[in-house]
Structure 1
Amino acid sequence: MAKKKVLLFSFLLFLGLLASAVGGFFTGRFISGMPEVDVRLNWWWKLSTLNFFLASLYVTEFLLPVKSLPIKNLAGPPRSRIEFLKHIALAKQTLLVCVLTLPALAVSIVAGSIPAILAISYLPAMVIVALIACTWGTVVDLSPTVRKIGWKRNLIYSVILLLFSATILIFTITIPKVSNFIWETVIGQAIFLSLFVGIGFLCILEDSYRSVRKDLAEMDDNSR
């Protein structure tokens, strides 16, 4: 049985890497005809972020489904957010996502003639997107509370992120040098995106932790 699981995991990982390379090729081909580097880079990071998101879904659905995570064997609710992240194996999930997206990134950068130094500046935001997708994808399968009212939470997250964006916009308008750096340079845009998705991850982490803790506590009470 263990050998079959290893073989299945290896096969699914191979399929994911193959799909990643193919996706990276089409991404590179799509943007390669665009004459301006800024335009190519703009399309590249958006499509690459989508690749990170899709890879995250693949990991949570096939490579590391909820039933295989340590949290399924947890005796009670997680005592801290660190313990929660440890028991949903978020570090392992994110590492697998990065491995899966590596072919797509490499192929698309070469095929799309994207400067590697500029591309690297967007990687932190993409990794945070993977953290968000893996956390949310796991919790949706794990928590009845999130499945029931998840759409309401999505609205709340959207409002928080809009308020954050509005705050940054107002702040940058009042300071022209900061505005020029954030909106007119690649590094500035990458920093803003990292902060933007970072706030989103913190919101989802807090909500996920509280929801899972509540559900596991109720299950523990009902089992007594």
Structure 2
Amino acid sequence: MLLSALAGFFTGRFVSGMPNVEVRLNWWWKLSTFDFFIASLLVAEYILPAESLPISYSAVPPRSSIEFLRQISFVKQVFTVCVLMFPALAISTVIGDIPAILAASYVPAMIIVAFIACTWGTAVDLSPTLRKVGWKRSLMFPVIILLVLLMTLIFTISSPKIGNTIFETAIGRTIFTSLLSIPLFLYILEVTYRLVKKDLAEGRLMEDPKGEDTIKEV
């Protein structure tokens, strides 16, 4: 919580000197999203590490992606991230003089970033296969982002009214940033679920790079 408050203080101080609201907002959401990402990885690595999750004690591979999320305590991870990030968002918004309604429009996308980071960070700790081929799978990230941006650009050009609604209203920003983030999460969920399921079925879950089991006896 202290680190969160410090991150919010420095983020707010950084953007507070910018005279234009749009410029402040632009830097604020980028820095806050980065803070969300880092907080999610810290939660997945230290607060709710892979060896403490139900999936590490399961001998049966998850039968669906929903069951996979349940076995990695997905809701608990994301909730923990949101609680830890609340001081950062509140402090940075006040110090940075960011309008609350505009700040709130970016929060859903930040939470989806937590979805992505928690799922990916946990799966990397669980799956030796993902640690080996994860960089190849991540090449799809910019492709997905570019496709969403391209679709948005097409809608904007074909209908300027839609473009103004998307980029100049709070609800439009919420929809746009969420649509940009959701495909990334769905892709990462599919990749991580499939590889973790494969390693669990082969008895290789939580192996280190040398092929040794990292689960400690209790």
The TM-score with structure 2 as length reference comes to 0.90
Q: Which amino acid aligns with 2:77?
A: Q
4+ aligned runs moved over 6 Å, structure 1: none
Q: What is the CA distance between 1:24 and its match in structure 2?
A: 0.5
1:82-137 deviation digits (Å, cap 9, x = unpaired): 11000000100001100111110111111111111211111100000001000000
Query: Where does residue 180 of structure 2 map in the other structure?
Result: 196
- Please say which of residues 190-199 and 63-72 is displaced more in the overlay: 190-199
Q: Which amino acid aligns with 2:108?
A: P
Indicate whether 1:130 and 2:92 are aligned. Answer: no
Contact 2:7–2:88 at 8 Å: present in 1 too?
yes
Q: Which amino acid aligns with 2:45?
A: E
- Please say which of residues 134-143 and 171-180 is displaced more in the overlay: 171-180
Q: What is the CA distance between 1:158 and its match in structure 2?
A: 2.1
How does 1:89-168 map onto structure 2 within 5 Å? 89-168=73-152
The TM-score with structure 1 as length reference comes to 0.87
Query: Where does residue 166 of structure 2 map in the other structure?
Result: 182
Q: Which amino acid aligns with 1:207?
A: V
How does 1:212-223 map onto structure 2 within 5 Å? 212-219=196-203
Query: Where does residue 194 of structure 2 map in the other structure?
Result: 210
Q: Which amino acid aligns with 2:53?
A: L
Q: SS where residue 122 of structure 1 aligns?
A: helix
The count of residues paired between Structure 1 and Structure 2 equals 204
Q: SS where residue 121 of structure 1 aligns?
A: helix
Q: Distance in 2 between matches of 1:157 and 1:108?
A: 28
Indicate whether 1:88 and 2:64 are aligned. Answer: no
Indicate whether 1:35 and 2:9 are aligned. Answer: no
More helix by share: 1
Q: Which amino acid aligns with 1:72?
A: S
Q: What is the CA distance between 1:159 and its match in structure 2?
A: 1.4
Indicate whether 1:53 and 2:34 are aligned. Answer: no
Q: Distance in 2 between matches of 1:156 and 1:49?
A: 20
Q: What is the RMSD of the two structures over their aligned residues, measured on CA atoms? A: 1.3
Query: Where does residue 154 of structure 2 map in the other structure?
Result: 170
1:59-93 deviation digits (Å, cap 9, x = unpaired): 01110010001100112110111110000001000
Q: Distance in 1 between matches of 2:101 and 2:156?
A: 25
Q: Which amino acid aligns with 1:38?
A: E
- Please say which of residues 152-161 and 186-195 is displaced more in the overlay: 186-195
Q: Which 5+ residue runs of structure 2 have no aligned equivalent?
A: 205-218
- Aligned-residue sequence identity (percent) comes to 64
